[in-house]
């Protein structure tokens, strides 16, 4: 009888695993593209070396099928950075209403100086922000 219960339990458990692995409730990323950064929030424009500060960026996504994918964060020289945001686009059904998404970069400078950040705002436009590190 105990063997029969163990076999029955194993069969039920296997069935549950198979059902949970056969989940089609996901959306496939179709493509990745740039998305302009509408605004940038820097709390402290002056900070110390090795301190940590979160720099928030805000972008408007045209539908719920799009969202934040990542940043292209380029060191142009020791004190200049360019930041471009990228969005993903999925193939699933979604609402066509736009929304604003917030994301962040954690900045922890390793040397003193005047850091210049340029955030891509579409076309040849950039939002420029400066942080002085003491």
Residue 43 near residue 59, CB atoms below 8 Å: no
CATH number, domain of 121, equals 2.60.40
Range of lowest pLDDT (16-20, 33-37, 47-51): 16-20
26 half-sphere exposure, CB direction, 13 A CA radius:
8
3 within some domain: no
Residue 102 lies in a domain: yes
Residue 98 in any domain: the answer is yes
Instruction: Report the chain's mean pLDDT, rounded to a whole number.
Output: 86
For residue 105, is it within any domain?
Answer: yes
Q: If you search the block for the tokens 């549950």, which residue do you land on?
A: 16
Establish if 62 belongs to a structural domain: yes
- Structural domain including 127 reads 27-133
13 assigned to some structural domain = no
Number of domains in the chain: 1
Instruction: Identify the band that residue 64 occupies on the pLDDT scale cut at 50, 70 and 90.
Output: very high
Closest CA to 86 of 70, 99, 104, 103: 70
pLDDT of residue 67: 96
83 secondary structure, DSSP code:
E
- 6 belongs to a structural domain: no
Prediction pTM value: 0.79
């Amino acid at each position: 009888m105990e063997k029969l219960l163990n076999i029955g339990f194993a069969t039920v458990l296997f069935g549950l695993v198979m059902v949970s692995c056969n989940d089609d409730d996901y959306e496939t990323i179709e493509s990745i593209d740039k998305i302009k950064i509408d605004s940038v929030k820097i709390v402290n424009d002056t900070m110390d070396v090795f301190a940590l500060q979160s720099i928030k960026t805000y972008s408007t996504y045209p539908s719920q099928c799009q969202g934040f994918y990542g940043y292209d964060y380029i060191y142009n020289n020791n004190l200049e950075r360019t930041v471009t945001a990228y969005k993903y686009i999925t193939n699933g059904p979604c609402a066509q209403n736009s929304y604003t998404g917030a994301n962040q970069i954690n900045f922890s400078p390793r040397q003193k100086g005047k850091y210049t950040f340029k955030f891509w705002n579409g076309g040849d436009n950039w939002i420029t922000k400066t942080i002085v590190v003491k």
